[in-house]
């Protein structure tokens, strides 16, 4: 009888012990599984899209769509402003913006900061001579404080004089690895283009009286164009474009002295061009700013040429990055064109 009872009790309790063990395991394993199944940082698909960002004068945000791990960026720096024409000589044109493109690894949902360069403003004519045009602003995309790529901008053109000797100097185009040097105006020396490691040198210091020498470019900033006189009557230098454009040099109608062109913004900005240091001379052009690509990334930098920006044939550019034309005799110069940034996502 006792043995039979032991067998029966074993048959009853053994399954219960097994079930108890199973439930105990479930209670332990369940929470562990929940901790290891966090949502993924990207979805399984990325929808193809194109986002065009034009100039606003301030930083803009681009939020990477969910599911996207790579974007392709195209960027054009702004064009430099043209110098004004004097009574005897026309003003010189501003340089076209540089072009930068790269494929960049991203995380869906992250926010990138976009800076679209503003155009270099035209130089103005006043009474007898012309002022220099301002340098354009660079265009760039940042992750936090780290630049992913930068497209350099064109330098401003020099102002024309009221005499009949020589010619004003054009602004250099944006880079490329290096910005393009501005053009000299006879003995008035132009600003150099920015490089991959330093700002462009300013035009040789040749100003007289109480004028302001042109300044060299620096990190992200173009140099200012030279001003030969600061007496009553100096005015008209074109403002530098937003995001690093250097100001064009004023002209002096009282002493018939023209202004130099401002340097373009970039990874390193171009130097400012020299102003005329005597009557019957013309202003020199500012140098273009350099471009920059992400370390270890896949991309291309293309310098502009003359007033034409880099990769000018790309339909996505529109008219972005054109350099402004120099003013005709006794006429204001033309403001350059703003930059542009275009960001593409691809189905992945």
What pLDDT does 75 receive? 98
Give the pTM.
0.85
Residue bearing the bigger pLDDT, 165 or 313: 313
What pLDDT does 234 receive? 65
Confidence at 8, pLDDT banded by 50, 70, 90? very low
Confidence at 292, pLDDT banded by 50, 70, 90? very high
Beta partners for residue 140, in sequence order: 115, 150
Q: Work out the mean pLDDT of the chain and round it to a whole number.
A: 86
What pLDDT does 13 receive? 41
Express as a percent the part of the chain with pLDDT over 90.
Answer: 72
What pLDDT does 127 receive? 83
Give residue-wise pLDDT tens across range 215-252.
999 999 999 999 876 554 567 899 999 999 999 999 88
Pairwise CA distance, residues 174 & 338, whole Å: 13
Average pLDDT over every residue of 10-22: 40
Pairwise CA distance, residues 273 & 215, whole Å: 8
Q: Tell me how crowded residue 145 is: count the other CB atoms within 10 A of its CB.
A: 6
What pLDDT does 32 receive? 27
Residue 154 has pLDDT above 60, yes or no: yes
Q: Which residues contact 333 (CB under 8 A, 6 or more apart)?
A: 81, 82, 83, 84, 85, 91, 94, 122, 123, 124, 130, 133, 157, 159, 238, 324, 325, 326, 327
What pLDDT does 205 receive? 65
What is the C-alpha radius of gyration for the chain, rounded to an integer number of angstroms?
A: 31
What pLDDT does 233 receive? 53
Give residue-wise pLDDT tens across range 67-125.
999 999 999 999 999 999 999 999 999 999 999 999 999 999 999 999 999 999 999 99
Residue 6 has pLDDT above 50, yes or no: no
Pairwise CA distance, residues 315 & 318, whole Å: 6
User: What does the H/E/C string look like for 139-165?
Assistant: EEEEECCEEEEEECCCCCCCCCCCCCC
Torsion of CA 124, 126, 132, 133, to 10 degrees: 0
Give residue-wise pLDDT tens across range 73-87.
999 999 999 999 999
Confidence at 276, pLDDT banded by 50, 70, 90? confident
Distances (CA, A) of 205 to 34, 217, 219, 343: 71, 15, 21, 42
Residue 28 has pLDDT above 60, yes or no: no
What pLDDT does 211 receive? 76
């Amino acid at each position: 009888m006792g043995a039979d009872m032991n067998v029966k009790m074993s048959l009853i309790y053994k399954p219960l012990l097994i079930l108890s063990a199973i439930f105990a395991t479930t209670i332990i394993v369940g929470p562990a599984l929940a901790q290891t199944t966090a949502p993924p940082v990207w979805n399984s698909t990325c929808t193809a899209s194109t986002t065009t960002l034009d100039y606003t004068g301030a930083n803009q945000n681009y939020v990477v769509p969910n599911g996207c791990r790579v974007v392709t960026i195209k960027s054009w720096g702004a064009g430099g402003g043209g110098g004004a024409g004097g009574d005897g000589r026309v003003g010189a044109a501003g340089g076209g913006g540089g072009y930068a493109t790269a494929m960049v690894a991203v995380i869906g949902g992250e926010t990138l900061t976009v800076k679209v360069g503003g155009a270099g403003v035209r130089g103005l004519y006043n009474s007898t001579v012309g002022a220099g045009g301002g340098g354009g602003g660079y265009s760039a995309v940042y992750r936090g404080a780290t630049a992913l790529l930068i497209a350099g901008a064109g330098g401003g053109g020099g102002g024309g004089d009221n005499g009949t000797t020589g010619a004003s100097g054009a602004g250099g185009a944006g880079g490329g690895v290096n910005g393009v040097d501005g053009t000299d105006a006879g003995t008035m020396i132009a600003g150099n283009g920015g490089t991959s490691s330093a700002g462009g040198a300013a035009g040789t210091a040749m100003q007289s009286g109480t004028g302001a020498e042109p300044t060299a470019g620096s990190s992200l900033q173009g140099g200012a164009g030279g001003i030969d006189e600061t007496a009553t009557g100096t005015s008209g230098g074109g403002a530098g474009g937003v995001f690093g454009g250097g100001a064009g040099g004023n002209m002096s109608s009282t002493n018939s002295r023209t202004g130099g062109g401002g340097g373009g913004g970039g990874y390193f900005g171009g130097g400012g061009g020299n102003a005329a240091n005597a009557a019957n001379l013309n202003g020199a052009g500012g140098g273009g700013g350099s471009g920059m690509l992400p370390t270890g990334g896949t991309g291309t930098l293309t310098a502009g040429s003359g007033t034409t920006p880099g990769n000018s044939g790309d339909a996505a550019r529109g008219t972005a990055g054109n350099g402004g034309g120099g003013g005709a005799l006794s006429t204001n110069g033309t403001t350059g064109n703003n930059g542009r940034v275009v960001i593409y996502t691809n189905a992945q």
